[in-house]
Amino acid sequence: NAGVTQTPKFQVLKTGQSMTLQCAQDMNHEYMSWYRQDPGMGLRLIHYSVGAGITDQGEVPNGYNVSRSTTEDFPLRLLSAAPSQTSVYFCASSYLGVGTEAFFGQGTRLTVV
């Protein structure tokens, strides 16, 4: 059982480039989300989805785009990378319900130069 799989693990981008971070889960979870982790700030929610075809913005959505065409996949697109987007990105999934456990991928360390 793979759980939540993120690719790539590391990425260096030049300012202005675009890229897609991939996230896939095999647990049939309805809820998927993307967070960014910055030192001293914990994890902040970028975008989330409660099912295929449904997405919504989190706390820090600017500069990012998402889509959810299947239950399994939830890619995060950086439209035009900026140095402020240098961070570690985590994808998570869970069932919908009270107090459900979120399962996290191993993260993508992104550096924008």
Partner 1 sequence: GDSVTQMEGPVTLSEEACLTINCTYTATGYPSLFWYVQYPGEGLQLLLKATKADDKGSNKGFEATYRKETTSFHLEKGSVQVSDSAVYFCALSEDAGGTSYGKLTFGQGTILTVHP
Chain residues binding partner 1 by CB under 8 A are: 4, 31, 33, 35, 40-45, 48, 50, 56, 58, 90, 92, 94-107
102 within 8 A of 91, measured Cβ to Cβ: no
Give whichever of 33 and 87 is closer to partner 1, judged by the CB atom.
33
72 within 8 A of 91, measured Cβ to Cβ: no
The residues that bridge with 5 in the sheet, in sequence order, are: 24
Give whichever of 17 and 71 is closer to partner 1, judged by the CB atom.
71
Q: CB of residue 40 vs partner 1: minimum separation in angstroms? A: 6
Q: Which residue has the tokens 């202005």?
A: 16
Q: CB of residue 94 vs partner 1: minimum separation in angstroms? A: 5
Q: CB of residue 28 vs partner 1: minimum separation in angstroms? A: 14
Give whichever of 64 and 105 is closer to partner 1, judged by the CB atom.
105
Q: CB of residue 26 vs partner 1: minimum separation in angstroms? A: 15
29 phi, psi to nearest 5 deg = -75, 140
DSSP 30-50: SEEEEEEE-TTS-EEEEEEEE
Q: Three-state SS for 8?
A: coil
Give whichever of 24 and 105 is closer to partner 1, judged by the CB atom.
105
